[in-house]
Chain A
Amino acid sequence: MHFSPETLNQSAGLTAKWEDEVRRAAERNPDEKARWSTVSDLEIKRLYTPEDIGGTDFARDIGAPGEFPFLRGNQATGYRGRCWTFRMFSGMGSAQDTNTRWHMLLKQGQTGLSTAFDFPTLMGYDSDSPKARGECGRCGVAIDTLDDFRTLMEGIPLDRVTTSMTINPPATALWAMYCAAAESKGVPLAKIGGTIQNDMLKEFIAQKTFMCPPEPSVRLISDTVEFGTKHVPNWNTISISGYHIREAGSTAVQELAFTLRDGIEYVEDVIRRKGLDVDEFAPRLSFFFNAHIDFFEEICKMRAARRIWARVMRDWFHAKNPRSLWMRFHTQTAGCSLTAQQPYNNVVRTAVEALAAVLGGTQSLHTNSLDEVLCLPSDHAVEIALRTQQILAEETGVANTIDPLAGSYFVESLTNRMEEETWAYIEKIDAMGGMVAAIEKGFPQLEIADAAYRFQQQIDAGEKIMVGVNKYATAQKQEIPVQDINEQVEEEQIARLAAVKRSRDSRTVKRDLDELKNACKTGKNVMPFCIQAVKDMATVQEICDVYREVFGEYRDPGLY
């Protein structure tokens, strides 16, 4: 930032004096530890001064909200025009169980829906598959056919409430179900809004719900982007996600860098494979970040994310539409920061993380429940988590003004530093030939493994603290009620699936799947074929089996 020579002189003089004072004080009272760093281990100075942001150019690097480089937010009006969406990630047991939870959340003031599927659905297996044994409905909702999906969406106004679905390899099948459900309710595709996560690169890097190899996985994503651009214009067809990268143990900079580099890979693929103009589809790309426990690091990460993306879109892809330059993102507080010990402390952690997300300018937020380390959230715990956001929005005044931390020597300096380190990673990955190539080399996977291992060692050595775990631990256990998933869910779901399979016309399904297979082989967009197949009650697994057959299966290389 430009400071007058007089200010810089004063600052240098005062800082030198302060440093002397610190030295004297430290002789009497040494610092409690030698090194102070963020949770990601970025070393932080005791004090930041004008000199730390001397190179920052106000117009180029900061600017105004709603203007390039969007450091201060996409919207000129901030949260006054539109508060962030209260979007709690939920799904459990059967479609009926989850629908009941959704209605409860909407009644409590939630403003958007977000679907957690169980592992068989996430991996493209039906509830009756031998691979699904013991998993059905356990950590999300079990969906096999459009019949389940309609139950899930019962009574939800699809033209007014937006729904996010955390679904990756079978994203085409589940999105097809959403489209089919909307059509059958008379809601045109042009009217529905929502998000499919549909980000496979981070699956190979971190979350590990994968099915086909990277190359065809990216192709299916480009199919959805193309279909959305042409037919479902209000849908976010990818949520390019750093959340899982961070949960797998990455640093904040790695989360930022790998997520943005994934985004670049998708944009390149859509342009190359589909021939779309960047401004036709880029406005519907969305992002998803983690809000971890290190308050300022997270705020700076989100601010830097917007600025880097705006620069990438303008300078690399020559986007003209301002909306193409926006990085719109959802945030979830960090599951991995929560502790099974003294679980009520998790309410406090989540509140601080949510505050960071809001100060970072998120468009949408999930706050974790205090019991998520132990089980799926109970009704009571999820209500506290939702209220946490509502208190931030309605009581604390943090939404009054836009990007209130801008101009802080520390915040701007850390934002700059995270951007610089992110560019260094992006350049490294480019030099490897892009993200698919980097994944094949195991580069991001091993970078994250290193960071996760280092953090665990720091915890074990007491260099990083988790309250209630390696400091202030108590022998007395805090008992909390644990949400149980009914053991009968599996049996009942298998019975429902069997009934659907009996009542459908299996020849029609076979024909639909053959046509889907043909589309996979010939490079036609798979989405219309998926929609037809789910309408005729093809299952999630039947659609995914086509992909597995045509594209092959990816096996975890097991890097550590």
Chain B
Amino acid sequence: MVAKPGLDGHDRGARVLARCFRDAGFEVIYTGCHQTPEQIAAAAIQEDVDLVGLSCLSGAHRYLFPRVVELLKEQGADDITVIGGGIIPDQDFQMLYDAGIKAIFTPGATLDTIVSWVRTNIRPRGV
């Protein structure tokens, strides 16, 4: 699931990625913009996804990304991996890793790099 948390409308990256994963043979859900962390967690659980990719370019990732992980955990779905991308300053990486974000991709990452990371690191849940 590719998700856009918060009020940020910069969705070019998220939409390119959603299409790229679809073309690579994945089943993709794209939430559209302006989702609250609560909506994202609920959708991830309801749709039984294996991976949530969060995209944020507004600077609000410091609150929004950890909040999604926290909500998944509270609802017993901490086996759903969460990764993130967007405009993320280097100094925020550690804070996001500590909060449970498993990988962060920033501008310049190729589509191949991201797809390969997912193929290597994500196994379908419950299989």
Contact = CB atoms under 8 A, between A and B. Distances in A.
Interface of A: 119-120, 122-123, 125, 130-135, 138-139, 203, 207-209, 247-249, 336, 339-341, 373-375, 449, 452-453, 456-457, 459-460, 469-470, 482, 485, 555-560
Nearest to A132: B7
Which of A135, A374, A459 has the most C-beta atoms of chain B within 10 angstroms of its own C-beta? A135
Interface in B6-33: 6-12, 14-16, 18-20, 30-33
A555 B108 CA distance: 30
Which are the 3 A-B pairs with shortest beta-carbon distances?
Answer: A134-B63, A208-B9, A558-B32
Nearest to A468: B108
A207 B12 contact: no
Given A139-B58, A247-B12, A134 B6 contact: yes
Contacts of A138: 58-60
B107 interface: yes
B33 to A, nearest CB: 5
Contacts, number: 103
Which of B9, B64, B110 has the most C-beta atoms of chain A within 10 angstroms of its own C-beta? B9
26 contacts: A119-B7, A123-B7, A131-B36, A132-B7, A134-B6, A134-B61, A134-B62, A134-B63, A134-B64, A135-B6, A135-B59, A138-B60, A207-B9, A208-B10, A208-B33, A248-B12, A373-B107, A449-B19, A453-B16, A453-B19, A482-B91, A556-B32, A558-B30, A559-B15, A560-B16, A560-B19
Which of B36, B106, B108 has the most C-beta atoms of chain A within 10 angstroms of its own C-beta? B108
B89 interface: yes
A139 B6 CA distance: 13
A485 B60 CA distance: 11
Contacts of A336: 12
A452 B18 CA distance: 12
B58 A119 contact: yes
A120 B16 CA distance: 25
Interface string B52-96: 000000111111100000000000000000000001010100000
Which of A125, A453, A459 has the most C-beta atoms of chain B within 10 angstroms of its own C-beta? A453
A487 B37 CA distance: 20
B11 to A, nearest CB: 6
Nearest to A119: B7
B4 to A, nearest CB: 8
A122 B8 CA distance: 10
A374 B87 contact: yes
B111 interface: yes
A123 B4 CA distance: 15
B48 interface: no
A452 B13 CA distance: 9
Contacts of B30: 558, 560
Which of B12, B20, B111 has the most C-beta atoms of chain A within 10 angstroms of its own C-beta? B12
Contact of B7 (A125, A373, A457, A470): A125
A32 B37 CA distance: 49
B7 A120 contact: yes
Contacts of B7: 119-120, 122-123, 125, 131-132, 135, 209
Contacts of A135: 6-8, 58-60
Contacts of B36: 130-131
Report, as a range, how many residues of chain B touch the other chain: 35 or more
Which of B7, B18, B107 has the most C-beta atoms of chain A within 10 angstroms of its own C-beta? B7
Main SS class of interface, A: loop
A248 B58 CA distance: 15
Nearest to B37: A133
A249 B12 contact: yes
B34 interface: yes
Contact of B15 (A209, A340, A449): A449
A209 B6 CA distance: 11
Contact of A119 (B6, B14, B91, B112): B6
A119 B61 CA distance: 13
Contacts of B20: 453, 456
A495 to B, nearest CB: 18
A459 B110 CA distance: 8
A456 B14 CA distance: 12
Contacts of A449: 15-16, 19
Contacts of B62: 134
Contacts of A560: 14-16, 18-19, 30
Contact of B107 (A339, A555, A556): A339
B15 A452 contact: yes
Nearest to A136: B60
A180 B78 CA distance: 51
A133 B60 CA distance: 8
Contacts of B61: 134
Nearest to B2: A560
A456 B34 contact: no
A373 B88 CA distance: 10
A351 B89 CA distance: 25
B62 to A, nearest CB: 6
Contacts of B87: 373-375
Contacts of A456: 16, 20, 111
Given A134-B62, A208-B9, A340-B106, A557 B32 contact: yes
B36 to A, nearest CB: 7
Given A125-B7, A560-B14, 20 more contacts: A132-B7, A134-B60, A135-B8, A135-B58, A138-B60, A203-B9, A208-B11, A209-B7, A209-B9, A248-B11, A336-B12, A375-B59, A375-B89, A460-B110, A469-B108, A485-B59, A557-B32, A558-B30, A558-B33, A560-B19
A558 B32 CA distance: 4
A403 B111 CA distance: 41
B63 A340 contact: no
Contact of B89 (A203, A459, A482): A482
B34 A556 contact: yes
B74 to A, nearest CB: 17
Which of B16, B30, B31, B64 has the most C-beta atoms of chain A within 10 angstroms of its own C-beta? B16
Contacts of B9: 203, 207-209
Nearest to A449: B15
Contacts of A131: 7, 36
